[in-house]
Structure 1
Amino acid sequence: MPDILSVEVANTLLLGTTVTMLAGYRRHLALPVPWRRLGACVALGLLLIVILHHGVDSVGARVVAMSVLHAALCLEMGLLLAPRLARAGRRYPILFTVCAAYANAAVQLVRALVYGAQLGGASVPWDDATLSMVFFSAGALALPALTLGAVMMANADLIARARHAADHDHLTGARSRRAFFDLAARELARTLRRGGPLSLLLFDVDHFKRINDTYGHATGDRVLADIVERTGAVVRSIDTVARLGGEEFAVLLPDTGADTALLVAERLRGALERAPEGVIAAGYTVSIGVATLDPGESIDAMLSRADAALYAAKAGGRNMVADARALPAQTAQTV
């Protein structure tokens, strides 16, 4: 094989592969790719190879130079990914890739130190064939490991997006109906295990059909999205805001008693009493039903009582809050 293929071309392609891997990681993390800097790195590697091949023909010097460049690139990969570990939903793919990047960087640095020591006249307890086999084996595993890490991270990202799409309403960003009942069941189990109150707000938009008929469905969609945004600003981060369907929403309030839930509901009603302004040409109000979990009650039963309170609020004139405790027991059971 001609030297230009086994030395210049081979080393440039290998360095370009590592550079492309780093660029791919940055794209995955939605970071800008510094193509000029990465291109300069490849050009520097090629220049060093040419000088250390045709100027000063030294295999050891070429190994040191290329090992240092590869180590720097792999170290940058690890430093890019390591901060994501703390906030990753699935830690293993990132942890695997970080370990692979750091391990490859360490191997490349050891390779540079060993061959650098040989250039300085120091003796090593292994012959060249053994050294070449060890470092070649490590290098042969490095890129497949980094590639596997990239595939795992991309797969984890796709799974996270699919799960988010299933658990959230695509229009408003609120929790979906399915996610709400899953979270409510877990919250009920926690409440029964530890004790404490659990409350629920159920509300919908007053005369929403009139808004759609008068201003169009696009305005109606903006109203729904605005409601979720304003609701999120009123409730706590531990509270669950969900769109149950159409213009009906629910807010699950853990560790919240009946009296506090009424205060929250009234504050929310005031925040959602909006006059026409800006991009939302339609003013709107909401009616809210409030229920607090009774001993031995299920989520469905509490939701039924909140629904009855919501109907009572609408029957009472809308744009108001109704407490399920104020309703006759038979009314809550039949709605």
Structure 2
Amino acid sequence: MVKTFTGDRPIIIAHRGASGYRPEHTLAAYELAIALGTDYIEPDLVSTKDGVLIARHENEISQTTDVANHPEFSHLQTTKIIDGEAKNGWFTEDFTLTELKTLRAKERIPLMRTQNTQYDGLFEIPTLQEIIDLAKLKSAEIGRNIGIYPETKHPTYFKSIGLSLEEPLLEILQANDYRGANAPVFIQSFEVSNLQALSTKTDLPLVQLLNISGQPYDFIVNGDERTYADLATASGLREIAKYAQAIGIHKNLLLPRDNINKLRSPTSLVKDAHIASLLVHVWTFRNEDFFLPLDFQGNPQEEYKLFFSLGIDGVFSDYPDIAKQAILDFRF
């Protein structure tokens, strides 16, 4: 299931499910993504108070659930420092799974995706196990493997409060027979130390996420001055290759934009990563002009094709059907 950079078509990673069409991180979003032709479904993982891994974009859930409408949980509203940033709201680690199951998901960006608001209040917060069950059920039905691509969210923070994400993640994956370098799994993180630790405990493929700016939060905690830009250099990529099999990059690291949102010339990131034997998966592809470079306003398919021409190995997409069609239209 793991693709190489030797001519295979890029994989499609449904970013939080088919989140352009359904509220993100719901079983409905993941199921639709599978129907639309994705290869992997991507849950962001956070923990409940009782140590269950669930799918939410953030551990603060006021933007993605109806928690504010539940007076029985009003006493749990608080302010916390998450990765150095003060956030006010309700946090998954203060709820048991049973409590969280009484909430319902809502569209995170309703002004931009008004069509998704019709589904507000319909869907539960899924556990990782429920997502795996869905992937396996649909794989059996359609006759091809649907992989999972979990992200450990805020791993340093969760470890600091006694709810480490990595151990339960590996336990669940092992219990569900995900084993070895060719299993249909990628484990991703914006931090480095948890991936390095995971690399000593599992042969499953690991993905170092690289943002357009800033530092991994564990670097900040440990006094390491390196930035994501440093990790994206040829030498930084060689270091990543010691513990990971792929990088997941902000698309602007490969195709920068100028001050009027037009694309500039591509960087050497794909070439450098491939020399280091790393796959390159790019995030995030979306249809809305707000997210597109000026060159492709109203034409998201052409953005995919340009990135395909640069030799990437996978795309994170909110609209997996558009990614699928772009792959079908492109000659690899």
For the criterion TM > 0.5, the same-fold answer is no
Q: TM (normalized to structure 1)?
A: 0.24
Taking structure 2 as the reference length, the TM-score comes to 0.24
